[in-house]
Structure 1
Amino acid sequence: HMHWAEEGFDREVRLRMNDGEDYFIFTFSLEGCWQDIAGSRRRSFDRPAGTMALLRYREIYEHRAIPMNKAVHLSMAIESRQLLDWLGEERLQQHPRLDRFLKGHGAACLVLPLTQRARLAVEQIRHCPFQGLARALAMEARCLDLLVEMVEAAENTGGARPVQRRLNAQDQERIQGVAERLRKSLSEPPTLAELARQYNLSESKLKAGFHQVFGTTTFGYLRQLRMEHARQLLTTGDCSILEAANVVGIKNPSHFASLFKQHFGTNPKQFQMNGDRQK
């Protein structure tokens, strides 16, 4: 089962988990922060923006949504026996850390940095241009890509990330203001120094706080905004590829095409052609 969510919380929300279902949850967080409380000792694990996590659901006592303007995340649930059968005992033996986790040893939540390939797969799911059977096949392919990234990352990195000191309400508001300024300045964005001065933050605090809320840098966020707006322009058919690139402030058509493909997995021309076929 796959679930895509874009949710806003102005206060802490707690969801008590007690149905005893035995499955694994894979999560991929783009914005916001969730916290999981697990095990008899009620150990807490933060899942901030820019992370992906694997959870043994039967051991999760409670999910907590940390108050922020918006939480954007993708989650996939797979029955434990189905996943273990699919991976196979022989293959799991080649990945001892993952094998131990899946068989119930150690912490119930494995939190890892969101890789670039995983972020790309999530964005392709979020903005899938296909319909019908083609959409179903594309979604299944991207979900498999995400499982591959999680398996690889789980074996090659350590356990849960250290808990970050959360931003206070005033700093969260400032960071959201920075994001809003970027959303309104796609063609001529301000510099990091200008943003820091405008919102009364040091550059180091701005960079750290922005990454905590959005899981990326201000430049990375600007690039995401530009690509999303370009996608919308190309979807409506009101702009040519060159015009869309100019609207979002990218003057080099080749660079625009390269960024678009990195973000959506297809170049702008192919994207337009797929859109035309769906009309």
Structure 2
Amino acid sequence: MTKILTDTDWQELWAESEQNGHASFQSKGFETIRKGKLLDVSHTYECWSELRNGLSISIHQEEFIDDLVWVRDIFDKSQFGLSFFLSGKVRIERHGLTDKTDEIVGRYYSECNCDIKETEWWKAGEKFSRIYLKIEPQEFFQSFGEEELEQIPISLRQAVMNGKVQPYYQQGEITQQMWKVLCNILKCPYQGLMKRMYLESQAIELITLHFQQIQEQEIRNHSFPGKNLRDVERIYQAKEILLGNLENPPSLIDLARQVGINEFKLKRGFRQVFGTSAFKYLHNYRLEKAKQLLALGDMKIEEVAFRVGFDSRSYFALAFRKKFGLNPKQYFQHHHKSL
């Protein structure tokens, strides 16, 4: 017999099973564990660990008593996830986003479902287990600089920089390095604070390996044609747009759109033509322009900082000193001793 459940039904089953003593819920420190038999539906174990702002990890094991169709009707708009399959199989359709896909051992997926409705098909008696990383981009990446954010996948970067969350789904292969990290998570030898720190380090390593896999795939799928003069012209056009908008430069996505080139080609092409990233090129140009304006002596330091695109005087002073060995005030005084 095939059962049909929704997320709301699932929550009600947990509550009823806990009342009847068939399931338990335990929260201790950074971990929350739910386990037991959900009436005549499944044997379940789930351990959630909150690791740091914007990052959590769960170990999830499931075995359904009957075939089940699960209709997801509760959404998390801010959630990005990485799901690694350790055993079992499930077929899922993300309506309007993917056809039916089989999620099996040896595969993992990255996702942001937003308001996408899901239907899942589970087989009775098949033991299913996975490790799942939940990432809330604006919290997790809040300490990263703009140049660093250029290197993360576009879906995450959009969510961090302008709050745009677009649904997506992408499968990948669990590499040997990933398997090693997954085993480390399952066999974590620590407790308390050290366990939390250890799991966080392993989770971040999985995210890093995921980013590496995406980057390698992009390189395989795209190349910057160095002999294509039209593309080189677009790179120079992009540079001029950046330098013409020091106070409010466009994002890389908008810049690529303006010059008619995809973002990957723009980033790679900028490095090939100018030897550095677009962000670093702009940063260095701002400082060189500031140096010229300070030498002229017609503007105050705050005005110079604002003119070349620095909102913070303290950050401007730090960046200026790092590049030229003097802070802006010292440089100004050196050129205008009479002042």
TM (normalized to structure 2)? 0.41
By percentage of residues, which structure has more helix?
Answer: 1
Using the size of structure 1 for normalisation, the TM-score is 0.49
The structure in which a higher percent of residues are strand is 2
**Is the radius of gyration larger for structure 1 or structure 2?**
2
